[in-house]
């Protein structure tokens, strides 16, 4: 069974019931709603559609709402600007007027305060490079360094510049209200820069009565500097390589990715590798060899999940992209992994009990791990230690917990009501696995469960053989 989870971004190419079913059949585990493009009406329509298709296909699917975040963007231009090296472009804020031939307004009033002469400005996802020449009142003059065409509402990156944007915009707050209303399982915090940003989103979710989990997106240099604190505060982390690859020197990107994955595996936080993984398949039926190697590296590092963006939201071959992820992941998983989990920090009685269970399972080549969990913590602990061979079958009475577990490496969650007698729960789990063809007579099951001793509850590890 594949351990690495697959996240698919939904869009016009994939939000129909038929395409959702195809993506699930191909191996999708999590569907991402990108609020840089999605509307509230679309969210209210597509979330019930996902839930219904998941029910019909008996699939455990999580939904992630990805906030747009406090992005700096250019305003509208009457006609696209054909820029050449040496041209001067003036960015204006607060309604300032410019007499330059090439001028465009910017949505961030603090640009004037944050930027300085000599700073580099990257526009349109890094396609156009500029250098700041001067600041004049509410205008910033920049020299064009590389040729490009500047259209409306293009993203601006300021490598090395600490911007003073809020962690969430008014749009983000409105989107979060809709996400809570529709009970999405994860909220991704775009352009997270420090721990306080995660805390701010957590406070907002609690104010709205939501216990949804937060994925902190690491996508600029400031976040990289504070990555340990961010990882500690978040429920999961995404290495968002699109903006990160612009904000940081390109040769540093693989090192940053590996460092973040390694830290997450050490402390037990789910981690996602995202962006440009199969970019060529937006228009082509086959990936490049370099893309295959990139996906293989993320799987070898044992990231919890790998993510598709434009490949599945607007691409021509969305199901084929998922199938490609699935094929590569299965093959690389059979060849072993980087072993970062061997340095995992194990604290507390429960985690040490789980470590003993994983060690036991690693001694049986065809073992399965069975975990009973109310809140998902025990399943997270098992996944954290990356069992060598055993799939992790998690049973929980809470459907929301099961959906959240869809993101975790190696975890296959199923809803099941619990009774007071642990043996009856184990028997029910064995029966469910047998009926689904996930276990057969003679298999070793390493069971992590609770034993009741009067009013006291003890975690236990049991080795059972399927009858």
Catalytic residues: 32, 73, 217, 275
Encoding tokens for residue 213? 């989990």
What's the N-to-C CA distance of the chain in angstroms?
22
User: What single string gives the DSSP state of each residue in 94-146?
Assistant: TT----SSEEEEBS-TTHHHH--TT-EEEETTTTEEEEEEEEETTEEEEEE-S
Encoding tokens for residue 354? 């789980």
Please state the separation of Cα 140 from the chain's center in Å: 35
Encoding tokens for residue 311? 């490949």
CA distance 135 to 131: 12
CA distance 106 to 378: 47
- Contacts within 8 Å (CB) and 24+ apart, 277-280: 277/306, 277/307, 277/308, 277/311, 277/325, 278/308, 278/311, 278/321, 278/324, 278/325, 279/310, 279/311
Residues 187 and 179: beta-carbon distance below 8 Å: yes
281 closest CA partner among 291, 271, 273: 291
244 closest CA partner among 109, 129, 122, 107: 122
Q: Which strands make up the sheet holding 128-136, listed edge to edge?
A: 72-73, 155-157, 120-123, 128-136, 139-144, 88-92, 102-105
Residues 227 and 218: beta-carbon distance below 8 Å: yes
Encoding tokens for residue 62? 């999580």
Q: Give the other-Cβ count within 10 Å of 410's Cβ.
A: 25
Q: Are strands 155-157 and 120-123 parallel, antiparallel or unpaired?
A: antiparallel
CA distance 144 to 157: 15
């Amino acid at each position: 069974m594949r351990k690495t989870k697959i996240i698919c971004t939904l869009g016009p190419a994939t939000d129909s019931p038929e395409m959702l079913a195809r993506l699930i059949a191909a191996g999708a585990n999590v569907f991402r709603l990108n609020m840089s493009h999605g509307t509230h009406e679309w969210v209210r329509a597509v979330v019930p559609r996902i839930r219904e298709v998941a029910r019909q296909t008996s699939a455990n699917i999580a939904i992630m709402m990805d906030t747009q975040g406090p992005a700096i963007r250019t305003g509208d231009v009457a006609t696209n600007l054909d820029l050449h090296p040496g041209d001067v472009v003036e960015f204006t804020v607060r309604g300032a007027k410019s007499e330059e031939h090439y001028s465009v307004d910017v949505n961030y009033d603090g640009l004037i305060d944050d930027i300085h002469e000599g700073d580099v400005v990257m526009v349109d996802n890094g396609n156009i490079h500029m250098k700041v020449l001067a600041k004049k009142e509410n205008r910033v003059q920049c020299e064009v360094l590389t040729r490009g065409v500047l259209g409306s509402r293009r993203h601006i990156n300021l490598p090395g510049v600490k911007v003073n944007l809020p962690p969430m915009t008014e749009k983000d707050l409105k989107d979060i209200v809709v996400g809570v209303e529709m009970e999405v399982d994860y909220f991704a915090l775009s352009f997270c820069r420090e721990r306080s940003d995660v805390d701010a989103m957590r406070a907002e979710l609690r104010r709205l009565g939501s216990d949804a989990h937060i994925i902190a997106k690491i996508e600029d240099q400031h976040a990289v500097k504070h990555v340990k604190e961010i990882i500690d505060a978040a429920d999961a982390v995404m290495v968002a390589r699109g903006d990160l690859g612009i904000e940081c020197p390109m040769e540093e990107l693989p090192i940053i990715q590996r460092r973040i994955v390694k830290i997450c595996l050490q402390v037990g936080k789910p981690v996602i590798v995202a962006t440009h993984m199969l970019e060529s398949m937006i228009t082509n039926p086959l990936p490049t060899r370099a893309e295959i190697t990139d996906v293989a590296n993320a799987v070898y590092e044992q990231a919890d999940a790998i993510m598709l963006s434009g490949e599945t939201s607007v691409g021509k071959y969305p199901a084929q992209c998922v199938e490609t992820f699935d094929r590569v992941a299965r093959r690389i998983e059979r060849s072993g992994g980087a072993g970062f989990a061997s340095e995992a920090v194990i604290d507390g009685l429960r985690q040490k009990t789980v470590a003993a269970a994983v060690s036991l399972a690693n001694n049986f080549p065809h073992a399965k791990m069975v975990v009973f969990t109310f809140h998902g913590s025990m399943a997270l602990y098992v996944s954290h230690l990356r069992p060598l061979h055993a799939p992790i079958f998690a049973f929980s009475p809470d459907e929301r917990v099961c959906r959240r577990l869809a993101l975790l490496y190696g975890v296959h969650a199923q809803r099941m009501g619990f009774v007071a007698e642990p043996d009856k729960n184990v028997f029910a789990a064995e029966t469910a696995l047998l009926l689904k063809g996930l276990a057969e007579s003679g298999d070793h099951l390493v069971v992590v469960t609770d034993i009741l001793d009067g009013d006291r509850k003890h975690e236990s590890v049991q080795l059972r053989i399927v009858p």
